[in-house]
Every structure is written in C-alpha cells, then in structure tokens.
Structure 1
C-alpha cells in the first residue's frame, strides 16, 4: 500500500475511493495472520520509519505553475504514485532525492522518467508518451510489460486524454538525471560481432521469436510486439528482458489482449540466456552476455 503517496490525496478524492470500495459486494475473507519475522513484525517500529519517510501532508498546488501542470503533478504524485516504483530507495527504503531516476522493484526495472534526453523521457515526443500511458505502447519506444503493463491495464487506459496530457506536462518538467540504461538504436550491421552465445541465440530467436517480433524488431501486425527502440533490449542488466522471457507478460488493450508467453518451461536456462544475449546485441547494440543463472527460478 503506497500510503506515503496517498497521503497527498485531498479529502474529496479519499472519500470517493472509500465510497466506491463500500459499494462493492462484501466478501467473507479474513485477513491472513502476520507472518513477518522479528523485528519486522513489530508494528510500533513503523513510527520511526514514518517519521523518516512519510511526509503526511496534502498536495499543495504550485502557484507558479499552470493549472494543467498542477493537475498532472497531483495525478502523478498522489493518485498515480509513480514515484513509488520509479524513484530509487534509500537504506531505510524511503524515497531518495533522485526523484524518478529509475529503480528496480520486485525484479522489474522501472525506468528513468526524468527529462534527460538519453536516460529518461527527454527523447520522447508528447505523442509517444501519451500513447504509452494510454495504451501501453509507443511507436519506436516499445511496449509496457510487468507491473507497468498492469498500471496501464487497470488504471491509466481509463483516464481522460485531458488528464493524460496533464501528466505528460508534469513529467516533462522533471529535472534531468543521467542515470540508468540508455535506449539504443540498432547498429547498421547488428550481427557482425556476435559472441558464440549470442550466435546460438540468433538461431533460437529465428525459431521461437521472429514470428511475432520480426527479425528487425518492428512487430508483426501489432506495435505491442515491437522490440526496436525499447529500453528493455538496451539494458545491460536485462532485468525486464529476463522477466518477460521467463514468465511472459500480458496487457489488455483497446484492440484485444497483447500476450507474450513465458518460455521457462519450453527452453533451458542456457537457451534463454542465449536468446537474451542475442536480443541485447541485435536490437540494443549492447554486448552483454547473460548468464544462465539469471533464469533460475
């Protein structure tokens, strides 16, 4: 529960959420027992954590900014709680001062959202960012997966275009921070210096992946299958690429369900590592050899 973001909600919106929840059909589902071990099962200790990390204040509009900017700030910081995934954590697991510089949460990388042109959203057009937030895909930038796909499917795609535009305005204003992977473009001859592992992955990609993604990464019949330009195929750490290859991902769109199956039961760890190494080299111009251990469950 990201209550350190929800503390920014105004009373009217908090009560509206309560009214909706109270309108749902009651279910007799007892809460599970606390299974945390000492000292994390000591709730009183949260008093100190909250003192350090929970501002406990309501959103205050910035009079120096436009109404659209303030609306976008409220949606992004409070209701959207975007910083909870996209901002690095401190040693106490509070949010660091590097707001929106990107972070890894539950095995998925939430990418840099600042205005940095290489690491963040500075190289995106307003149209690309609007499309990504509304549909989970952006031409030339790839598609949402994992928790971000869930955010689009269950929340963002229902928002009005006016509110999406407000979020874009606010995100555009975030100070640039040069941190995290850089989305690369394909090299002119992407396969000229493949490692032995990536060369093996090239054959596996042709057999298992090219049918949907196409050899050039444009995606067959659907931009949700596009790989070219995506952060995930340029990230040397390959966090999201590994997650998708192993477990798959899905996203409900206005045109049907975009679905990528997981391959952990169809291919060995060595084969998945070879595919990942090839994808990074071919589409992301990133010479990183992924180890089979990355695909251990």
Structure 2
C-alpha cells in the first residue's frame, strides 16, 4: 500500500501491532570504508562490523520507575532552539536535543570535515558526508527532514527542543561540538538521527547505545543505563509505529548495538542514543526512507519513544 504523503514541515514553525522486542537505531555514516555517522574509524581500530558487540537481550518497555526531576534550564546553545511559545503538555519543562546526522553542505567542505577531533578514546574526523540511496537521496537530507518533523511533534507535547543544526550551517558541526550542545543544554534526552548505508539485503532499523568508556574527556559511566532505557523505548515505539523490523545485520536481531567508537556518544554527559532508521542502499528500505509519509511515521515513533522515557 502506498504511504500517504505528508508535506515537509517548515524549517521553523501524530498502529500496526507487532511483537515488541528491543530494536534500535545506529548513527553510522556508511561509505565503502565503513565510516561512522560520527566520523570515520578510529585509526588502528577493527572494522565496524567486527567491533560492534551485540548487547544482551534487553527487556522490552520497562514498566515504571521514579520520574527524574527536570534539568535546570540552560542558556541557549549554538543549536537551533524552539523560538516560539510552547503549549503546555506532558513534556513541559523537559529539554530534548535532536542531532540531525551529517549536513547537506558537508560534501562541499571535505577539507573541514576531515579535520581530526578528540573523542576521548582516540581521534576521528570532524564529520562525514553520510550515505545516500542509489537514486541520490542524501542521508543528510533525510536526517534533517525527520528531525524537523520530530521537533514539531515534541514541541506539540510541550518540550523545549534544540537542533544541533537546522540547515543553517555551511557544514558540520563536528562530532565533539554535537555532544557539547547536548551537554550545555543539560538535555533530558538527546537523539541523533541517521540512516545506514550497508549492502543490499541488509534491512531494518537499529539504535546505537553508548558503551562504558573512560578516557580523556570521555566518561559515560553515568549515562550508560539511562541511555539504554531511552534506546529500548525508542526502539519499541519505532517498531510499533512504522512496522519496520529490527536490523537483520546488526545487533543479533535485538535491534540494539553498543559502541565505544562514536564521539557523539563518548563525549555526552546526558542520556543519548543514535537511531539508524533503515538502510539507504537496500531498495526496499530506500522506498520507505524516501517516502514523506513514512518519514512522518519514523518521527512519530521516535517522539513516542522519547515521551515514554521522559514520562516514566
């Protein structure tokens, strides 16, 4: 059945039932070299496919736990933030940072994005260009569109939303700055939106969770557990709303992937995950990712996962 097409939201300006098991979204930028959505491989590190460790089977939809107090408001960051009065809703008082992976302008600034930045466990590229469908629909366009839709949905629920970039920068930001934006905002949750670029036949979505990392400026000890809960909830709602299956090639069918080589996660001091919404190089997944109607569903699935996490 053809998806209903929704018009793209203005740059500034709500199901299918299947068994709910944990699935997640990874932030990898895929190229022939297998670079990550947060920069290429750390020099000397094993290839991505070999370095990804499937996490233990997560519990679907955590039941209930104590609600966290809202973080104090922070001064505006370099990111694009909610610029209009917000309605009161279930997420009033909460701050969410959305990180649209890559940037459409990165391809014109290869020298700048190739500069190395410190990610705690080593050094990696500032950013990467991201992948694209065979027909040329760029991951950077996809991530920005889904992120804007996601912002609208979260703002309708009362959340204050900050984007790390809103098509308002020539390139980047670098992965370390993306992490700093979430940290400076004292975000209750940060989600980095991506799409994968693996081989044909590799399908589905997955969520990347931060590993326990301690080195240099990186120390994820306090965010590993809450980030996992955020990721599990997003994965469950993404599955329910979009009908897409968890990845058949990453995460051992759990849809969750834990990684220690992504600066955007390593340098975060607040709960954060990456969501890989599908594989742009697979024709079936590409048909979904290029559908405006499906992108609206993807944004809704992520929004409901974030809301479930923040209202727990």
- Both proteins in one fold, TM over 0.5: no
* Higher normalized helix content (fraction of residues): 1
Between structure 1 and structure 2, the one with the greater Rg is 1
TM-score of the pair, normalised by structure 2: 0.26
**Greater relative CO (CA pairs within 8 A, separation 6+):** 2
TM-score of the pair, normalised by structure 1: 0.27
